[in-house]
Amino acid sequence: MKGYHDIVGDGGSGILEQVAEQRARITDGLAGVRHLVAVGSGKGGVGKSTLTLHLAGALRARGLRIAILDADFNGPSQARMAGVQGALFVPGSHKVSLPRTGNGIAVFSMGSVIPESEALDFESAAQGESHTWRATREFALLGEILASFEWGALDLLMFDLPPGAERTVQYADFLGPRTSFLLVTIPSEVARGVVARSVAALSKGPNRLLGYVENMSGYYCRDCNAIKPLFESPEIPRLGIPCLGTVPFDPELARHCDGGIPFTELGETPVGRALAHVAQQLLDTLESEPSR
Amino acid sequence: MKFLCVPCDAPMKLQSVGPPERGSLSIVYSCPECGYEMAMLTNAYETQAVQSLGVRIGPETAGGAPSTASTDAAGGKCPFSAMIPTLEGAQPAQTSEPAPVRWTAAAEARLANIPAFVRPMARTGIERFARERGLLEVDEKILEAAREFFGM
């Protein structure tokens, strides 16, 4: 009697072929992108989205072609921070053009599609059982976004990932070995511990770990024009990957994010300089040969 | 998943997909050798597992593509249809009805190329863009003008 592998095709639907075709469309759509960089952490609330947007701004200020894909479908923040809420989606000859910020960063965020008063929801044949299918559906949506929008010729496509160490690894699996990871932490033992789990999990796969950024590394007091400590954490565990820089907390940065004000308006502040430094480190690392 | 007719040792071919009923699909296979037919009846979990992959279930058409879309058949339409009031088929909450805007076939074809979940927003936005310019027809020129206007 024939076995599964003796039979070509599945007799009609060609499910595996359809999945392969989806993957081919994604690969084709990203063919013009030089670097794919996922900004993750594992820990929530450490400033992944803020850093993603402002690093993109710093890189854009150097003339690079940058796009951001806000992969946090359930808590999208890039639309508001980048000022593309309610942006117009214009169909091109085959794909959809991406909304752009005033300084020319292409941004896709679910926040441009779904109002903040609503949650992402999917119609389902198995309502009430979303734990059995939801992650699969979200990755299918990510694939559709990658395949359907005009990413074009880019120097960097940055993915703003949702929290969760296991989610970080799922994105690595889905996005494939071309995607490098930049992790974000804050100077607290709890945050470092969670990020260390992400490092451990990602280290098992083929994706390159570019390093980490320590966000909220002190706060910038504008009155004193000085960086002061924000966390007291003398013995913070090491992450075992390069530190690409530290960025202090600055209430002005939060105001920029809420108001969709671009990076360039940060000017010559300590935060602006720190972000510019991290951006340069990121570029240098991307252009260097992987160490493993 | 594949089905084998044991007496004939021949792979069975998908014949048809029945309309969904309470989350279940009826998928009929037949043996090309003896003509024996059988139906696979999915439960809601199985239906949803396939729907979540974003693939379609159905017999191949002449072009090789499945003719039945399980995601559509399973009520998939658009993943956000339950929550976005301006989706196709939903009634927009407007107090005064603006003049209707026609779409040329070529412009409509472009719209059809884009994912279902952004299509209603794209349609509404482009029609507004056209109206603001005193136009009541969307053609490819208007689409290009919109791309240029928004720096895309």
- pTM of structure: 0.85
Here the tokens at position B59 are 């017999």
Whether residue A162 contacts residue A75, with contact meaning beta carbons closer than 8 Å, is answered with yes
Q: How confident is the model at residue B87 (pLDDT cuts 50, 70, 90)?
A: very low
d(CA A246, CA A214): 5
Q: Report domain extents, chain B.
A: 4-73, 77-152
- Helix axis angle for B119-132 and B140-149, nearest 10°, is 90
Q: Which fold has domain B77-152?
A: Helicase, Ruva Protein; domain 3 (1.10.8)
Residue A167 has pLDDT above 50, yes or no: yes
The amino acid occupying position B117 is F
Closest CA to A78 of A145, A166, A148, A144: A145
> pLDDT tens digit string along A220-241?
888 888 888 888 766 666 889 9
> pLDDT tens digit string along A108-163?
999 998 888 888 888 888 878 889 899 999 999 999 999 999 999 999 999 999 99
Sign of CA dihedral A2, A6, A11, A15: positive
d(CA A141, CA B66): 20
Whether residue A106 contacts residue A66, with contact meaning beta carbons closer than 8 Å, is answered with yes
**Pairing state between β A243-249 and A209-221:** parallel
Higher pLDDT, A85 or A49: A49
In this complex, do A90 and B146 lie within 8 Å of one another by their Cβ atoms?
A: yes
Residue numbers in B near A141 (CB within 8 A): 54, 79, 117
Domains located in chain A, CATH noted: 33-287 (3.40.50.300)
Distance from the Cα of A109 to chain B's closest Cα (Å) equals 11
How far, rounded to the nearest angstrom, does the alpha carbon of residue A230 sit from its chain's CA centroid?
Answer: 25
Distance from the Cα of A48 to chain B's closest Cα (Å) equals 26
In A117-156, the residues whose Cβ lies within 8 Å of chain B are 118-126, 129, 132-134, 136-137, 140-141, 143-145, 148, 150
- Helix axis angle for A165-175 and A189-203, nearest 10°, is 30
Nearest-10 Cα torsion for B9, B11, B16, B19: 90
Residue numbers in B near A123 (CB within 8 A): 75-79, 81-82
